[in-house]
Amino acid sequence: MGHYTANLRDIEFNLFEVLGRDEILGQGPYADLDPDTAREMLKEMARLAENELAESFADADRNPPVYDPVTQVVTMPESFKKSYEAYRNSGFWSVDTPAELGGTVAPPSFRWAMNEMVLGANPAIAMFNASYGFATLLHRYGTPDQQKLARWIVEKDWHCTMVLTEPDAGSDVGAGRTKAIDNGDGTWRIEGVKRFITSAESDMVDNVVHFVLARPEGAGPGTKGLSLFILTKYDVDLETGELGERNGVYVTNVEKKMGLKVSTTCELTFGGEKPAIGTLYGDVHDGIAQMFHVIEHARMLVGTKAIATLSAGYLNARDYAKDRVQGADMTQMTDKAAPRVTITHHPDVRRSLMLQKAYAEGLRALVLFTASQQDAVDMAARAAGTEKLERGTPGELASRVNDLLLPIVKGLGSERAWVLLGTESLQTLGGSGFLQEYPIEQYVRDAKIDTLYEGTTAIQGMDFFFRKIIKDQAESLGVIAGQIQELAKDAGTHGGALDREKELLGEGLESVQGILGYMVGELMKSDPRAEGGDVANLYKVGQNTTRFLLAAGDLVVGWLLLRQAEVALDALAGEVSEKDRDFYTGKVAAAKFFARQVFPRLAAERAMAEATDNELMDVPESAF
User: How deeply is 337 buried, as exposed, middle or buried, from its count of CB atoms within 10 A (0-12, 13-18, 19+)?
Assistant: exposed
φ, ψ of residue 507 in degrees (nearest 5): -65, -35
* 578 noted as active-site residue: no
Q: What is the mean pLDDT of residues 309-320?
A: 98
Contacts of residue 494, defined as CB under 8 A and 6 or more positions apart, other chains included, come to 566, 569, 570
Per-residue pLDDT, 388: 87
CA distance 307 to 319: 18
Per-residue pLDDT, 386: 87
Share of the chain above pLDDT 90, in %: 92
| Single-letter amino acid code for the residue at 43 | K
Q: What is the pLDDT of residues 47-84, one digit of tens each?
A: 999 999 999 999 999 999 999 999 999 999 999 999 99
Per-residue pLDDT, 155: 93
CATH 3.40.50.1820 correct for 158-285: no
Q: What is the pLDDT of residues 609-623, one digit of tens each?
A: 999 999 999 999 999
Whole-prediction pTM: 0.96
At residue 594, does pLDDT exceed 70?
A: yes
CA distance 76 to 127: 14
Q: What is the DSSP letter of 466?
A: I
Q: Is 327 left (phi over 0), alpha (psi -120 to 50) or beta?
A: left
Asked if domains 8-129 and 158-285 share a fold, the reply is no
Q: What is the mean pLDDT of residues 358-376?
A: 98
* Confidence at 1, pLDDT banded by 50, 70, 90: low
Per-residue pLDDT, 211: 96
Q: What is the pLDDT of residues 133-147, one digit of tens each?
A: 899 999 999 999 999
Q: What is the pLDDT of residues 451-475, one digit of tens each?
A: 999 899 999 999 999 999 999 999 9
Q: What is the pLDDT of residues 161-180, one digit of tens each?
A: 999 999 887 777 888 899 99
On average, the pLDDT of the chain sits at 95
Per-residue pLDDT, 415: 98
At residue 368, does pLDDT exceed 70?
A: yes
Q: What is the pLDDT of residues 514-549, one digit of tens each?
A: 999 999 999 999 998 888 889 999 999 999 999 999
Q: What is the mean pLDDT of residues 284-294?
A: 91
* Confidence at 229, pLDDT banded by 50, 70, 90: very high
| Helix or strand run (H / E) with residue 581 | helix 578-597
Per-residue pLDDT, 252: 95
Q: Where are the alpha helices (DSSP H) in 176-286?
A: none
CA distances from 283 to 154, 171, 236, 237, 541 (A): 22, 26, 18, 19, 39
Catalytic choice (454, 501, 522, 566): 454
Helix and strand numbers (H, E) in the chain are 22, 14
For 458-463, the CB contacts below 8 A with 24+ separation are: 458/545, 458/546, 459/171, 460/299, 460/407, 460/410, 460/411, 460/546, 460/549, 461/407, 461/411, 461/545, 461/546, 461/547, 461/548, 461/549, 461/550, 462/542, 462/545, 463/407
Per-residue pLDDT, 568: 98
Q: Which CATH class is domain 287-455?
A: mainly alpha
Domain positions in the chain are: 8-129, 158-285, 287-455, 473-617
Pick the CATH number of 8-129 from 3.40.50.620, 1.10.540.10, 3.30.910.10, 1.10.510.10: 1.10.540.10
- Helix, strand, coil content of the chain in percent (nearest 5): 60, 10, 25
Share of the chain above pLDDT 70, in %: 100
